[in-house]
Amino acid sequence: MSQIPSTLLHSVAEAFHGEGRVLAITPLGSGNVNDTFLVESVARRSVLQRINTGVFRQPEQVMHNLAQLDRHVRTKLLEQPERQHHLLQSRRWDLPQLIKTRDGSSTWHRCADGGFWRSLSYVPDTTCVDVIEHTAQARELGLGLGLFHHLIEDLPVEQLADTLEDFHITPAYLDQYHQALVRSEVVACTGTDHCIAFIREREADVAVLEQAKARGELPLRPIHGDPKINNMLLDQGSGQAVALIDLDTVKPGLVHYDIGDCLRSCCNRLGEETTDISSVCFDLELAEAILDGYFSAASSLLSPVEIALIPDAARLISFELGLRFFTDHLRGNTYFKASRPNHNLQRAQVQFQLSASIEAQLPELRALVEQLAGSHSSAAH
């Protein structure tokens, strides 16, 4: 991020806010793909982002999806209170709004250097966390994802572009890994040997969701794609979930990618950047709170087959992210930003350890999902 000259940053921010109206620009968040800044202008606070066009090769399509999402969700939020989800009748829910360029012509700005920038409103009085602080917070994180799914469930998937081909298609990541392994010049060490063995032992299980999808058991739905813990904004006062941000990966997919990602990122109390790899584990108590929150908002959305595959999704999405980090390590860190040579190797080891911990607790997690889904569906009737 620091490589973006401040003069460039200012001129981009001015394209949205007007010349001489930008007061301060500071880096925001810890995203692994895009570059994000908080902009204070005369009129407002906003979030300025440079889309990583190496990842999102057609950023206009990302913006198209954002506009569809915006229209759909805003219409639903403006419905009469009695038509709203009961949880929305008594709580604040927000969606960052796209800010147009100063001339009103567009919701993005392209620089002479090819950089693709957009600006979003800043959701006030909110905070986010990298690791869970308490069980009630875990419940809110699940509930927030459930509310988001409720708000987008009737957005027709045909209206959404596929902005990131093969995103969360685990067998495709496995193919990419094999190609990277053949070409890799990374020096073997205990860490890489362990990752290679870990992947080899699980290759047969990577298609569980894709096979169910191919059998017609799982529908494509609009999904968030990246609902990790720090993408949920929490009200600074009440701690309630207020908005799910980082909307670039909203596209058609399986709801499991989202629930799996929420579980993997929230139930690892050490967080995904920890260096204490052997202590990483999946906390079932937090999973219970997350699922309870999720089902309280969205239990009626999912079919029994979808519900039954939630535990597999938690294991798979952790494994998949480990595979993605490890492949990037083998390729020389071309996808995820890395701040030191073995950073993505370490991140991969964290996810593999987490995935192993989920594997070891699968029977308990299955029982938990079944019991919570059952109690929420009987409460709804």
**Given the rule CB under 6 A, which residues bind ligand GN1?**
31-34, 55, 226, 228, 246, 249, 272, 321
User: Residue 98 in contact with residue 120, Cβ under 8 Å?
Assistant: yes
In contact, 48 and 37? CB cutoff 8 Å: yes
Instruction: Give the residue with the Cβ less far from ligand GN1, 261 or 292.
Output: 261
Choose the binding region for Mg ion from 123-131, 239-247, 254-262, 336-344 (rule: CB under 5 A). Answer: 239-247
Q: Tell me which of Mg ion, ligand GN1, none is bound by residue 142, counting a contact when its beta carbon lies within the kind-specific cut-off of 5 to 8 angstroms.
A: none
Helix, strand, coil % over all residues of the chain, rounded to 5: 50, 15, 35
Minimum distance of ligand GN1 from residue 82's CB (angstroms)? 36
Q: How far is the CB of 36 from Mg ion (least distance, A)?
A: 10
Stretch that binds Mg ion, among 47-55, 130-138, 238-246, 314-322 (CB under 5 A): 238-246
Give the separation between CA 50 and CA 26, rounded to whole angstroms.
14
Cβ contacts of residue 94 below 8 Å, gap of 6+?
A: 123, 233, 242, 243
Q: Which does 172 bind (CB under 5 to 8 A by kind): Mg ion, ligand GN1, none?
A: none
Burial of 282 (0-12, 13-18, 19+ CB in 10 A): buried
Residue 371 makes CB contacts below 8 A (sequence gap 6+) with none
C-beta of residue 58 within 8 angstroms of C-beta of residue 73: no
Whole-angstrom distance, CA of residue 159 vs CA of residue 66: 11
Nearest to 144 by CA among 298, 247, 313, 371: 298
Among residues 318 and 357, whose Cβ is nearest to Mg ion? Answer: 318
Least distance to Mg ion from the beta carbon of 307, Å? 26
Element (H, E) at 24: strand 22-27
Q: Which does 55 bind (CB under 5 to 8 A by kind): ligand GN1, Mg ion, none?
A: ligand GN1
**Length of the chain in residues, anyone?**
381
40-79 footprint of Mg ion as x/- string (CB under 5 A): ----------------------------------------
CB of 17 to ligand GN1, least distance (A): 24
8 A C-beta contact, residue 30 and residue 130: yes
Is residue 226 near Mg ion by the rule CB under 5 A?
Answer: yes
Between 76 and 347, CB nearer to ligand GN1: 347
| Pairing label, strands 241-244, 232-235 | antiparallel
Q: Least Å distance between CB 376 and Mg ion?
A: 29
Here the tokens at position 162 are 């596929």
Which CB, 35 or 246, lies closer to Mg ion?
246
Q: How far is the CB of 33 from Mg ion (least distance, A)?
A: 6
* Between 219 and 271, CB nearer to Mg ion: 271
Minimum CB distance to ligand GN1 smaller for 140 or for 226: 226
Residue type, 105: S
Q: Shortest gap between Cβ of 143 and ligand GN1 (angstroms)?
A: 21
Please tell me the distance from the alpha carbon of residue 350 to that of residue 249, in angstroms, as a whole number: 23
Site for Mg ion in 242-261 (CB under 5 A): 246
258 binds, among Mg ion, ligand GN1, none (CB under 5 to 8 A by kind): none
Shortest spacing between CB 319 and ligand GN1, in angstroms: 12
The residue ranges that bind Mg ion (CB under 5 A) are 226, 246
